[in-house]
C-alpha cells in the first residue's frame, strides 16, 4: 500500500518527456490497426482530414494503442474517439478538457489528445478552456473550428462571423465572434498553433509539434462543414483561389505580443506556430508537491502515515 504505483503508471504525476518512447520490440501500427468505426461524417467534411492526419501521426511516431487516449465532448467533430482504435472517451458537451485533465494529472504515462468543436470548446466549454490553459496541464487540444454548430444543424457558433445566416440568426449573426487564437494566448496556453484541414502536411506538422510540447498545447484547425457552412475557408485554400500564409520566418514564437498581433490579422490570417514557450506544467508542480510531502514519510506504509495523523487527534 505504501507504493500505489506500478511500473506502468506512477501515482506521482511526472511530466518529464511524457510522450511515450516508441517501443522497439513492437512494430508500429498500420493505418488499418488504428482505424476503428467508419466515420459517420458527411462526405467531404473537413473532419476526415484531421482524423487521417491523427492516424498518420500515430503511425509515423510509432505510438502504441494503449498509450493513446482520445477524448472529446459532443458535436460532429467530437465523434472522433469512436473512429480511433485506442482507449477513448466520448464525454459530455463542453467538458472534455477537465475530463482530459483528470486523465493527464493521474496518468503521466499516457498521451492525452482532446478533439472538439468551436461550440464545445469556446461556448459551453469556454471557462474550462481558460482554466486548463492557465494551469498548463500537459495535453493536446485540437479545436476543429467550422464556424457553426454542425451536429445540431446550423445554429450560430461563438466563432461564426458577423452576418452569418444561421437558423438562430436568420438575418445574419449579430454577436461579435471570439478569436480562439487570442483566447488561447491570453489564457496562458504555452503552445498555440493554427492550421487548416485543406493543408494535410501542415496539419501533421502542427500535431507533431503539439504532441512534443511539454504543457498545454492548442491547435486551431479550420475544418469545413460542407453541409452547413460550405466555402467558409476558401480564402485560405489555394486550390479554391485563396492564399495560405505561413507564419513569417522572422516571427519570434516566444514573443507573446507578436503572437497576439499575428492572431489579429484579418481572415485568412496566418498558419503555423504563433506561440511556444516552456514553463513548468501543473503535472510537474504537483509531482514536486508530492515529492516534498513523500520525503517526510520515507519508508512508511500508507496506514502508518494515517496513523501518525490520528495520533495527533487523540
Ligand X SMILES: Cc1ncc(C[n+]2csc(CCOP(=O)(O)OP(=O)(O)O)c2C)c(N)n1
Contact pick of 39, 75, 180, 188 for ligand X (by CB under 6 A): 75
Nearer to ligand X (CB atom), residue 75 or residue 108: 75
Q: Of 52-60, 143-151, 178-186, 193-201, which segment contacts ligand X by CB under 6 A?
A: 143-151
The Cα angle at residue 289 between residues 286 and 290, in degrees rounded to 5 = 90
Helix or strand (DSSP H, E) at 55: helix 47-60
Interatomic CA distance for residues 294 and 289, integer angstroms: 9
128 sits near another protein (criterion: CB under 8 A): yes
Residue 201 gets which letter from DSSP?
Answer: H
Residue 86 near which of ligand X, Mg ion, another protein, none (CB within 5-8 Å, type-dependent): another protein
Q: At residue 296, what are phi and psi to the nearest 5 degrees?
A: -80, -15
When binding is defined by CB under 5 A, the residue of 117, 158, 215, 268 that contacts Mg ion is 117
Of 27, 298, 299, 310, the residue at the interface with another protein (CB under 8 A) is 310
Residue 150 interacting with ligand X (CB under 6 A): yes
Which of Mg ion, ligand SF4, another protein, none lies near 71, with the C-beta cut-off 5 to 8 A by kind? another protein
Q: For residue 267, give the nearest of 190, 160, 150 by alpha carbon.
A: 160
Q: How far apart are CA 116 and CA 121, in angstroms?
A: 6
Residue 226 interacts, among Mg ion, ligand SF4, ligand X, none and using kind-specific CB cut-offs from 5 to 8 Å, with: ligand SF4
Q: Is 12 in the site for another protein (CB under 8 A)?
A: yes
Whether the Cβ atoms of residue 115 and residue 77 lie closer than 8 Å to each other: yes
42 contacts ligand X (rule: CB under 6 A): no
How many binding residues for Mg ion (CB under 5 A)?
A: 3
Question: Mind giving me the DSSP string for 68-99?
Answer: EEEEE-SSSGGGGGGGBSSEEEE--TT-HHHH
Residues within the interface to ligand X (CB under 6 A): 74-77, 93, 117-120, 144, 146, 148-152, 157
Amino acid at each position: 500500500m505504501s507504493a500505489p504505483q506500478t511500473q506502468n503508471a506512477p501515482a506521482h504525476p511526472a511530466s518529464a518527456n511524457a510522450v511515450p518512447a516508441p517501443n522497439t520490440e513492437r512494430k508500429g501500427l498500420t493505418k488499418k490497426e488504428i482505424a476503428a468505426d467508419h466515420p459517420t461524417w458527411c462526405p467531404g467534411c473537413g473532419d476526415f482530414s484531421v482524423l487521417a492526419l491523427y492516424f498518420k501521426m500515430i503511425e509515423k511516431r510509432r505510438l502504441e494503442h494503449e498509450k493513446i487516449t482520445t477524448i472529446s465532448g459532443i458535436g460532429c467533430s467530437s465523434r472522433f474517439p469512436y473512429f480511433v482504435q485506442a482507449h477513448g472517451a466520448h464525454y459530455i458537451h463542453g467538458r472534455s478538457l477537465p475530463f482530459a485533465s483528470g486523465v493527464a494529472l493521474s496518468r503521466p504515462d499516457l498521451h492525452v489528445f482532446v478533439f472538439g468543436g468551436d461550440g464545445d470548446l469556446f461556448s459551453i466549454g469556454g471557462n474550462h478552456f481558460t482554466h486548463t490553459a492557465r494551469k498548463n496541464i500537459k495535453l493536446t487540444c485540437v479545436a476543429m473550428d467550422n464556424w457553426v454548430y454542425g451536429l445540431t444543424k446550423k445554429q450560430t457558433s461563438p466563432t461564426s462571423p458577423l452576418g452569418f445566416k444561421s437558423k438562430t440568426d436568420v438575418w445574419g449573426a449579430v454577436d461579435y465572434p471570439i478569436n480562439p487564437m487570442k483566447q488561447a494566448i491570453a489564457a496562458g496556453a504555452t503552445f498555440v498553433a493554427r492550421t487548416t484541414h485543406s493543408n494535410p502536411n501542415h496539419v501533421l506538422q502542427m500535431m507533431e509539434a503539439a504532441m512534443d510540447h511539454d504543457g498545454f498545447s492548442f491547435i486551431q484547425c479550420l475544418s469545413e462543414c460542407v453541409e452547413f457552412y460550405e466555402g467558409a475557408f476558401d480564402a485560405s485554400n489555394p486550390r479554391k483561389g485563396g492564399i495560405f500564409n505561413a507564419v513569417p520566418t522572422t516571427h519570434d514564437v516566444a514573443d507573446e505580443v507578436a503572437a497576439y498581433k499575428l492572431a489579429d490579422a484579418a481572415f485568412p490570417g496566418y498558419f503555423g506556430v504563433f506561440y511556444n514557450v516552456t514553463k513548468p506544467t501543473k503535472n510537474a508542480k504537483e509531482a514536486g508537491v508530492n515529492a516534498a510531502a513523500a520525503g517526510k514519510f520515507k519508508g512508511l506504509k500508507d496506514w502508518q502515515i494515517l496513523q501518525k495523523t490520528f495520533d495527533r487527534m487523540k
